[in-house]
Every structure is written in structure tokens, then in C-alpha cells.
Structure 1
């Protein structure tokens, strides 16, 4: 028995010894690994700044002719990244009145001005929401030891909103010039001086694109099997081509399609999705259909600090498609006025104004609109939009008067009823709903009003659907089931009674 106990103790000691040795070896390996690799920069930061994901203003460098030492591409990229990150940190600091991250991007002396401003704003209960949209820096000097850089940043487009006690007291967009001195400290480019030397109001004007020849008689389109997931794994150009032939043969000339912001990769556009979008326009061209592209479906944030990400999203898509023969126009956002209450009308309108300017700066050939959810909002931004698009799901008896009011308020621009329709669902969740015949009667009356007022239109939608994502109308079954049956073709592929009135 004694011998057995000794063996147990011996085994325990040996096992403990092996565990201790393993821990020591693991610790030494980790130390050598740390010493043989550089410090992880992201772990050193006190903030979670990742510029490529958080902040992507347009930046265009003047050709390099700086004094001092020539700068290579890697150093210039590092300088640019830290410079833009410094702006981002400042925006966050002024919005939150906190100092987190400032010491990572500003030297000791430069921090004092920021700290003083934050303290003053805190005392006055002031917050500032701001972002820069464009930078045009010139490298004036790069020191021989690579530790100091002097920049002039021209034509910095900066948007800001100033709030005091929650109330907005100022909203402005400025274009400014800054002088900057940056020092390389511990592997970081930090701002030593940032001085504004000139500023003026930023007023951008874009030509209005004539819509005299615009003739939209169309339909909002999703494939029947993949509604709201048109460009996913089940994408089929053959299916789309077949559907486009049905649409063309029905007497229509336009389809409206939707680019979902997150699904397409936000600022970093998914090239596979973009290629599928191009294939869709190719299919439309083959079918002799025009396409309205809606850019920001399923987006509802509008936060000023996200604007540069939104801009890169739109920039990539607009630049890629602006020369396509099937493109007829851009719809900036689907029903943004529905976000006025939750996000604030001022915030949403400022975002829309910025995106209109961006799209027009890239494509000055195709008209721009916004798909307002009702006629009441359709006069908003009427002077900046090239044609006016509104959706209508109210009583048809009121449509004629609503159109005539808009024609009076906006006399010189084309009006497009960008969505309208009626569900033929009258099942368990809505036993007193509309039948197929009721739906047909609705479209017969709608087309009569459209013809009387010489109105352009894009109806909702070609197909009935079997499934509706909860993100579209929520989880309530009476809403989801009604949304499934707005189509002119039922889920079995048969044309409904309303198909007779799909066009004029």
C-alpha cells in the first residue's frame, strides 16, 4: 500500500514538472515571437481606428516636387493614413467631447488646443458633428532623416453641424486650406501643427439634365425566386433575360432595380455583385429596356461619420455603370423620407444633398431622382433633382388631384410615379382584402389616370413572391402575406387578371 502511494505521488510530481516545463517553453517562445516581429500597431492604439473601414474621404495628391528628401510610396501611404486618421479622431472627439485617441495622432503641444476646445464645448454643452469629404494635399517638405513632413492641404471640403443643448445652431459646408506639420514619433505620424489659412462657403452647382425626352413606362423588378436577394448565390442571367422579355413584350420600356448597401459591401464594393449588376444591365440592353438603378436600398444610418463610406460605395457603382447604354437614371435612395422621424429630417436631407452632389460630379449625363414614399415629400430638393419620383399606395380617388398639385408646384420637370400597386391577397390574415379582379380594376383605373395626366410610371411589381424577408415589412403575417401578392404574375407563373393593365 505504501509503495502504491509513493508511485501515485511520484506520478503527480512528474506530471507537475512536465506542465511547468511546458509553460516555461511556451512563455519563452511567445517572447521570442514578440521580439522577432514588430509591435502590432492596432494593439498599441487606444482607439479602434481602422481608416479603410471608418473614414475614406477622397484624397488627391499634387504631383510630388517637394523640397528635401524624395519620399517613396510606402512612406507617403503611411503619412496619408495617419493624416486622415488624425482628422477622424478629431471628428470623434468633437462629437463625443472625449479625448480618446488624440495622443496617438497629435503631438504634446498640438493636443493642448484640442483638449481646450473639448473642455470649452463640454462647459457650454456644445457638440460638433463633422466630416471632411475631399482633401487635395501637397507635400511641401520631407526631411532628410524622414522624421518631419510639411503639407498644404487645399480645397478641403468640410461639413459640420453644431449643437448646443441638443438644438442645432449651425450647419455649414466649407472649403478650406490648411497648413500642416507632421512628426514621426515611435512609428506614428503625428500632427504637430494644423492651421487653417483660408476658408469660404462651399457652393457647388451642377447642370440640370434635361428630361424632355424621358419616357418611363416601367416596372420595379426582382426575380420571383430571389426577391430582395437578386444578386446573391442564386443569380441567374438567363432567368433575368427571360423576365425582361416578358416585360418588353408587355409594352413596357424600363425596369427599376435595387442595390442594397451592405449586401454590396458598403464602401468596399463586392466585385462579384457589381459584375452581376452589370450583367443585369446587359440583359436589359439586349431586351431594349432602360434601367433605373437605386443606389442605397436598405440603408438608414445617415451618420455624418459614415458619409465618406457611403460616398465610396456610390462612387464605385456610378463610375462603373455611367457609360452603359441601358442606364436611364439614378435613384439616390428608396423612400428616405420614412427615416425623417427616426433619424431627423435635417440629417437625412443633408445626406441626400451630399449624395446628389457626388453622383452628379461623376456622371453629368444621366438624370438623378429620389424615390419619395409619397406626394407630400416630392417637392423636397426639387431644384437639385432632374426628375421627380414619388410612390403612391393611397386611395386612387385622390391621385388625380395629387398629380395636378405636383404639376403646379414643379412645372418644368418630369413626374414619375415610381411605385404603385395593390395586393390581391384576401386570405386568412385579411379576409376583406382585394381579389385578383379587384387588383385588375385598380390597375385599369390607375392607367386611366396616368394617361389623362401624361404621367410616367414604374409599377410594383412583376411577380407574386412566396417569401418576403422580415426586413422588408417586418414579421406581422398580415403585412407579409399582403406583400407577397402585388405581382401581375402569380407564384405558379400564370398571368393574373391585372396583367391586361400592366401598361397602356
Structure 2
């Protein structure tokens, strides 16, 4: 019996050892196959997520050599753009990671030399391309080589030396490119710049001489800063728009949040809700100023192509809508100057303003600055100047006259103003509803005197304020809740009769 038990133990042990060996061999085989996966070796994961999507406009295909099919052309385009992206990462970080995957051995030499030089000199280059206009010149009969001429490549560059900005420029250039197919992957063999000049913005309609705005900044009471979420209710919007129209106002200002709408890949359901909002506004004879990029705060050069794709989708979808009045590129971008740098923010604003103008040449474009001091920035790039005012009311008239003197050729719009009626435990010396009413009576007098186009903040008092708006501090959140003309119960406050003055 002991002998049989021993024999059984030996057999079971043998089986376990064999199973462990087989499992080890299988794991090793899987590991080696994973390591050999071309997607990992060549870093083609860059292609699987949107990191770099400049506008590409191919010329009609009349190339010499072998006919080009659409699938191959798309693969060439993807690899070509990835090569640009990898080069820009390399020049920004002064590292060579990924270059060998997108450039042949011969083409790498110049890149490596440039990176070595920049590292030694303390030079960093931040750059991106915004437009490409490639023409396929030649496709070899064996399908291994292509020659492309990329015309009017719009390039933005920012050059730093020892962390100090010494050059900022936008250029157009023409490149001649040779790509080789290696291991099923198109790599750049040669890239030669043939022409270069300073980029100039396209002309657009004449400067606005006048503008009429009598409106209000709008969020639904139950879903502030989440207007296009699950709580979207057309009936509530329709009721609110009727209240606004009956109050004598003619327009609303609404906000599109960059992340919430899907960044570069705008969510179709959000876009449809935005269109439906404009449909309802049209039904109530209200015009709409759409503020883009709300809660966006990066401005990184390498994100510009993603930002443009986001704006292109929204602007192209709405530009024919009869309720659309104007585009506001960004709400209070000057608040990001300290954290992101004024030059970086204003460069992004200038680029995006130009892009939206070119995408929609028929509607005016502005920027919603948080104060009058910043409003003169980029004044020559917008169609009308917008500023917000939450300061001492006694200074408003002087502020407005100052802006008119500084910017005599552009309309000036007061696109946000208001006073909170919060007075409580977190601010015992705050303003009452009567104080708020007095404020609106006085400011409407100034607006009427100088015929200032204006949009107040806001229709409703809110129950909840997201922490992203003013932070977590209770005195800030409670103050923000009570800027409305209608209280949390739905009753008109004393200020409501001063929501507008003829």
C-alpha cells in the first residue's frame, strides 16, 4: 500500500512539473510574440489615438508611375503626419525617441545633429503644423517609394534659448518629400524645404462699424455648467427663452465646454443638443452668441491641431444657422495668464480667432476678456471687443470711454456684468436683493446713456455650483449662486424689472 501511495505521488508530481514546463514555454512564446508585435516596435500606437490631426488637402491624383489606391494613400498620410509629430516631440524634448521608426537611417542624421546642437546650446523648439496641401508626384511600380510635394504647409514655431522665448513665428513652406516602404511602414527618406515665407491671414469682411446686443448669459437653473448633459430639456429651454424674450431682450450667450463635448472628436449627441438650442432660440426670435472652449486651459502648441478639429466641427455645423449671431473664442482667457503664460495664451487665441474666421467668414468673432485692461489685447484680430465688468460701478463709464478711445474702430460689448444678492453666514456684509436691484437700475442707466451693447449675468439663481467654476470654498460658491434675476424658487427678484432698459 505504501508503495502504491509513493507511486501515485510520483506520477502526480511528474504531471505538475510537465504542466509547469508547458505553461512556461507558452508564456515565453506569448512574450516573444508580443515583443515582436510591429505596433509596439514601431510605436504605431501614435496612430490609434488622436494626438496630431492637422488639416490635409490632397491634390487630385495625376502621379507618374503606379496608380495609387485610397487605402495606401491613407496609410502614407498617417505615417507622414506621425513623422512630423515625432520630430516635433524630439525638438521640444531634445530626445531621439521614436525617430528611427519614422525616418530612414539617412534621414535621421540631420535630426540627430540638430537635437545635439540644440541640447548643447540650450535651445528648445515648440512647433506644430496646421495645414498641409500635398501633391503625389510619383509612386514607384514596385510600390516601395513615393515622392510628395507638400505645398503651403502652415507652421507655427516658438524657439526658446535657456528657457527664454527668443522667436515666435508662423510661416508657410513647401517641402519635397521622398518616403520608402520598409517593413510595411512608410518612412521619410528625404525632406527638403524648397520655399518659405511669413504666413499672412486671409482677408475677410469689413470691420464692423456698429453692433446691437441686448442680451443675457444663459444656463438652465437646474443644470448650470452642464447645459448639454443628461438633464437637457427642450421644454425648460423654451420656457426660459420666452421669459427672456418677454423681458425685452434679444440675445443669449451660451457656453460649449471643450472636454464635455469630446475634445477633437465632438460627440454627436452633444452637437445635436447644441443645434436644438439654436432651433429653440430661433423659434423665440433670439440670437445666440456661442462661446467656445469653456473650461479649456492647456494652450499647448502640440494640441493646436486637436483644438482646431474641435472648433471646425462645431463652427461648420452651426455657421448656416439663422439664430447664430457671433462666436466668442474663449471665456476670460486672461485668467490663465499666470498659470500658462500670456504669450502662450495669446498665441493660441490669435491662431484660433483666425481659424474660426476662415471657417465661418459670415459671423463676427470676439474674445470674452474678464476685464477692460485685457480687452485691448488682440483688438486688431477680433471683429468686436468684449469685456466683463464686476468692479465698482462708479468706474464703468470711465472704463468704457477709455476702451472707445483705445479702440475707436471696433464696437465695444459689455458681455458680462452683474451683482450677487448673497448675504449670509459666509458673507454677512454682502449685498441684499434691494442692493442688487439698485445696481442693475444704475448700470442700465449707464448702458442706455452710451448705448453700450450688453449681456447681463444671469437669468437664474442656482442651487448648485460645480467646484470647477469658483472652487470649493463656501463663501465663493454661495456668492456665485445668487447673481440671477429669478430666485431658486422661480420668483422674480427685485432686480428683474431692471433686466433691460430701453
Superposition TM-score tier, normalisation by shorter sequence: over 0.9
Equivalent in the alignment of 2:488: 491
Secondary structure at 1:163 match in 2? strand
Return the match for 1:225 from 222, 226, 235. 222
Return the match for 2:272 from 246, 271, 275. 275
Is 1:403 matched up with 2:400?
yes
Shift of 1:207: 2.3
Return the match for 1:365 from 353, 362, 365. 362
Return the match for 2:255 from 249, 254, 258. 258
CA distance in 1, matches of 2:37, 2:449: 68
CA distance in 1, matches of 2:424, 2:10: 78
Question: Gapped runs of 5+ residues in structure 2?
Answer: none
Question: Cα 1:182–1:439, aligned 2, differ >3 Å: closer, same or farther?
Answer: same
Shift of 1:205: 3.4
Question: Gapped runs of 5+ residues in structure 1?
Answer: none
Question: Cα 1:247–1:25, aligned 2, differ >3 Å: closer, same or farther?
Answer: same
Is 1:116 matched up with 2:113?
yes
Is 1:204 matched up with 2:201?
yes
CA distance in 2, matches of 1:300, 1:101: 28
Equivalent in the alignment of 1:20: 20
Secondary structure at 2:302 match in 1? helix
Is 1:189 matched up with 2:186?
yes
* TM-superposition CA deviations, 1:172-197 (whole Å, max 9, x none): 11111100000011111000000001
Shift of 1:3: 7.9
Please show how residues 344-359 of structure 1 align to structure 2 within 5 Å: 344-359=341-356
Is 1:380 matched up with 2:389?
no
Return the match for 1:474 from 471, 475, 484. 471
Answer yes or no: is the 8 Å Cα contact 1:209–1:366 preserved in 2: no
CA distance in 1, matches of 2:157, 2:39: 28
Secondary structure at 1:53 match in 2? coil
Equivalent in the alignment of 1:299: 296
Shift of 1:27: 4.9
Shift of 1:15: 6.7
Equivalent in the alignment of 1:461: 458
Shift of 1:415: 1.2
Return the match for 1:170 from 152, 167, 170. 167
CA distance in 1, matches of 2:42, 2:493: 61
Question: Cα 1:430–1:121, aligned 2, differ >3 Å: closer, same or farther?
Answer: same
Secondary structure at 1:239 match in 2? helix
Is 1:125 matched up with 2:125?
no
Is 1:312 matched up with 2:309?
yes
Return the match for 1:145 from 136, 142, 147. 142
Q: CA RMSD in A?
A: 2.2
Question: Cα 1:494–1:11, aligned 2, differ >3 Å: closer, same or farther?
Answer: farther
CA distance in 1, matches of 2:344, 2:379: 18
Secondary structure at 1:337 match in 2? helix
Return the match for 2:285 from 278, 285, 288. 288
Answer yes or no: is the 8 Å Cα contact 1:51–1:81 preserved in 2: no
CA distance in 1, matches of 2:25, 2:115: 48
Equivalent in the alignment of 2:56: 59
CA distance in 1, matches of 2:246, 2:459: 13
Shift of 1:50: 3.3
Point out the more displaced range, 407-416 or 425-434. Answer: 407-416
Point out the more displaced range, 240-249 or 6-15. Answer: 6-15
Shift of 1:16: 2.0
Question: Cα 1:79–1:402, aligned 2, differ >3 Å: closer, same or farther?
Answer: same
Answer yes or no: is the 8 Å Cα contact 1:177–1:196 preserved in 2: yes
Shift of 1:214: 2.5
Equivalent in the alignment of 1:328: 325
Shift of 1:8: 8.3
CA distance in 1, matches of 2:492, 2:455: 18
Shift of 1:39: 6.6
Answer yes or no: is the 8 Å Cα contact 2:175–2:193 preserved in 1: yes
Secondary structure at 1:370 match in 2? strand
CA distance in 2, matches of 1:59, 1:132: 10
Secondary structure at 1:376 match in 2? helix
Shift of 1:206: 2.7
Q: How many residues align?
A: 501
